[in-house]
């Protein structure tokens, strides 16, 4: 080398040394044929040791890996050796000298093979990612705490609300003196508002936590849409609003999609239309063009001055035209998010003082069936359900009486029990046409009771009654063998719609 000339190899080595020092990586060099391993100083220090305290073999590494993680480590190493992946990468826990567990990001690759093609040099790095991993775990735990809080809040609010709303629905079926009817209608409007506020807050919280999922399952499309409209007939009647639904005769009966999300979109829009159209008219229509479902909600209400701000969270609260109408201002932002989840669009045309028209378009997938598809019953019809035998399993005395009063109005015969164990004994002893099963009950919960009934050969339709409307709870009920899901507060029309489908 010429005096004064720069040695490229020395420069490169120095750069590599500085990079490794700056990145705080631990280095290992392993011969898979002899299991000899060369660790560097940083690798040892990462686990609280000095380099001269460690034996240079595979045991020095594997003996410190958490027993629950070791099998996956070797599996990932083997996958690289077999050529299934280009590089080895694994996150595992390693025991520090002080007894704590550190999260290690382990990366490497084969750099040399012998004449037989067997790896004789496998080099890689260790990175301590404990702080990052603990932050991730804390975020997961925080999300779980929020999830538990939302489920608890939903249950605690919806349970008493079920008693209020249920009794109002029952009173609305009686001929009442004028002053009493006005008072009942006032309570009904207040409870409708409270239910909307609760639903909006819970839905928005779930969206912010990214816990709303789209589940594609076969369902009856006409029944889904009719039920969404039907649920607001009592509210429309109270506000002297004419509510009608005009479905297309071309609607496919069976489709694949998320019935719950579609119904939620329509319900939010119909609820909004009825609220802002007191004394007017709301017309809901539906049609299908190719594989696109179009649902229109037209009203003759107060109209919207700014159709852009309504999609923003709390946007309605800043609009003076809405100051006389209580609410969260969350309904339409929720609709927009849900429509987006279904890969659809939502548009609105509105004139102040004349009304608004919302148009939702979402893609649908027609279910492939063999032979004729049985038409589902219309939720707008009134089938003969008198004499139906129903078992009510509900621990809350008010909710028990509310559901029984609704069934009495339908001329059904009901039997009441207060926990899942009694429900199990009664259902196995006597035949019923339907079991209404509360999910959260003492002694034995509704999910356990349902699972046990199904294992015992009971085929009676079982419907969940629950104040916990979280998707996870719905999934638990379905997996246990339940045939339906009624969220509290249970509405008179929703119960009638389900009974009519049996």
- We report the CATH number of the domain holding residue 272 as 3.30.565.10
The domain boundary residue, chosen from 368, 402, 433? 368
- pLDDT tens digit sequence for 153-177: 767 777 777 778 888 878 877 788 8
Q: Does residue 206 surpass a pLDDT of 90?
A: no
Closest CA to 502 of 464, 453, 461, 451: 461
Q: How many CA atoms lie within 13 A of 99 on its CB side?
A: 0
- Shared domain for 116 and 68, answered yes or no, is yes
- pLDDT-derived band at 109 (thresholds 50, 70, 90) equals very high
- Shared domain for 251 and 208, answered yes or no, is no
Q: What is the mean pLDDT of residues 455-465?
A: 93
Q: Does residue 375 surpass a pLDDT of 70?
A: no
Q: Does residue 141 surpass a pLDDT of 70?
A: yes
Question: What is the 8-class DSSP label of residue 496?
Answer: H
The domain boundary residue, chosen from 368, 392, 424? 368
- pLDDT-derived band at 486 (thresholds 50, 70, 90) equals confident
Q: According to the model, what pLDDT value does residue 217 have?
A: 83
> Whole-number mean pLDDT of the chain?
83
> Which is higher by pLDDT, 178 or 74?
74
> Which is higher by pLDDT, 201 or 478?
478
- Encoded tokens for 176: 């009442």
φ and ψ of 269, to 5 deg: -70, -40
Q: According to the model, what pLDDT value does residue 204 have?
A: 64
- Shared domain for 246 and 337, answered yes or no, is yes
Asked whether the beta carbons of 450 and 427 are under 8 A apart, the reply is no
Q: According to the model, what pLDDT value does residue 203 have?
A: 65
Q: Does residue 374 surpass a pLDDT of 70?
A: no
- Cα 19 to chain centroid, rounded: 45
Q: According to the model, what pLDDT value does residue 311 have?
A: 81
- We report the CATH number of the domain holding residue 69 as 3.30.450.20
133 occurs within a structural domain: no
Asked whether the beta carbons of 480 and 454 are under 8 A apart, the reply is yes
Between CA 393 and CA 248 the distance in angstroms is: 39
| Structural domain span for residue 178 | 142-212+381-502
Q: Does residue 5 surpass a pLDDT of 60?
A: no
- pLDDT tens digit sequence for 22-48: 556 889 999 999 999 999 988 999 999
Between CA 401 and CA 394 the distance in angstroms is: 9
- pLDDT tens digit sequence for 92-101: 999 999 999 9
Q: What is the mean pLDDT of residues 356-381?
A: 63
- We report the CATH number of the domain holding residue 461 as 3.40.50.2300
- Shared domain for 266 and 202, answered yes or no, is no
Q: According to the model, what pLDDT value does residue 320 have?
A: 44
Percent of the chain with pLDDT over 90: 45
- pLDDT tens digit sequence for 247-279: 998 899 999 888 878 988 998 899 889 989 989
The domain boundary residue, chosen from 95, 128, 161? 128
- Encoded tokens for 380: 């707008």
Between CA 385 and CA 410 the distance in angstroms is: 7
End-to-end alpha-carbon separation of the chain, Å?
93
Between CA 433 and CA 459 the distance in angstroms is: 10
Q: Does residue 411 surpass a pLDDT of 60?
A: yes
Q: According to the model, what pLDDT value does residue 267 have?
A: 87
Q: Does residue 449 surpass a pLDDT of 60?
A: yes
404 occurs within a structural domain: yes
- Encoded tokens for 27: 């280095």
The DSSP-derived string for 238-299 is HTT-EEEEEE-TT--SEEEE-HHHHHHHHHHHHHHHHHT-TTSEEEEEEEEETTEEEEEEEE
Predicted TM-score (pTM) of this structure: 0.46
């Amino acid at each position: 080398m010429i005096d004064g000339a720069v040695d490229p190899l020395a420069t490169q080595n120095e750069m590599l040394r500085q990079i490794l020092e700056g990145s705080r990586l631990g280095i290992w060099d392993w011969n898979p044929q002899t299991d000899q391993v060369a660790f560097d100083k940083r690798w040892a220090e990462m686990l609280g040791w000095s380099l001269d305290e460690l034996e240079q073999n595979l045991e020095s590494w594997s003996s410190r890996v958490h027993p629950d993680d070791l099998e996956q480590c070797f599996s990932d190493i083997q996958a690289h050796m077999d050529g299934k992946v280009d590089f080895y990468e694994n996150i595992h826990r390693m025991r520090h000298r002080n007894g704590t567990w550190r999260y290690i990001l382990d990366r490497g690759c084969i750099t040399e093979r012998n004449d037989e093609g067997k790896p004789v040099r496998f080099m890689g790095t260790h990175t301590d990612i404990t702080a990052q991993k603990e932050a991730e775990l804390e975020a997961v735990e925080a999300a779980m705490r929020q999830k538990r809080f939302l489920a608890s809040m939903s249950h605690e609010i919806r349970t008493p609300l079920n008693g209020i709303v249920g009794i109002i629905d029952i009173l609305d079926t009686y001929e009442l003196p004028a002053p009493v009817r006005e008072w009942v209608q006032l309570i009904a409007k207040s409870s409708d508002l409270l239910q909307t506020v609760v639903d909006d807050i819970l839905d928005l919280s779930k969206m912010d936590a990214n816990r709303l999922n789209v589940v594609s399952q076969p369902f009856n499309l006409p029944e889904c849409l009719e039920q969404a409209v039907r649920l607001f007939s009592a509210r429309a009647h109270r506000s002297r609003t004419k509510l009608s639904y005009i479905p297309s005769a071309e609607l496919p009966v069976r489709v694949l999609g998320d019935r719950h999300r579609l119904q939620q979109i329509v319900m939010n829009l119909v609820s909004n239309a009825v609220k802002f159209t007191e004394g007017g008219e709301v017309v809901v229509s539906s049609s299908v063009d190719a594989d696109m479902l179009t649902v229109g909600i037209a009203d003759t209400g107060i109209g919207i001055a700014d159709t852009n701000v309504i999609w923003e969270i709390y946007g309605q609260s800043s609009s003076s035209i809405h100051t006389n109408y209580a609410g969260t201002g969350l309904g339409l932002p929720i609709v927009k998010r849900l429509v987006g989840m279904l890969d659809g669009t939502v548009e609105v045309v509105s004139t102040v003082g004349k009304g608004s028209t919302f148009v939702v378009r979402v893609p649908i997938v027609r279910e492939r069936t063999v032979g004729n598809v049985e038409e589902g019953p219309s939720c707008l019809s009134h089938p003969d359900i008198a004499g139906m035998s129903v078992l009510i399993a509900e621990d809350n005395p008010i909710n028990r009486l509310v559901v029984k009063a609704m069934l009495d109005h339908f001329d059904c015969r009901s039997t009441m029990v207060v926990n899942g164990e009694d429900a199990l004994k009664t259902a196995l002893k006597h035949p019923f046409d339907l079991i209404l099963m509360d999910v959260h009950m003492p002694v034995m919960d509704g999910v356990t009771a349902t699972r046990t009934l199904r294992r015992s050969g009971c085929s009676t339709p079982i419907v969940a009654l629950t104040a916990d409307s979280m998707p996870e709870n719905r999934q638990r009920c379905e997996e246990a063998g339940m045939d339906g899901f009624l969220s509290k507060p249970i509405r008179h029309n929703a119960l009638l719609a389900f009974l009519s489908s049996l």
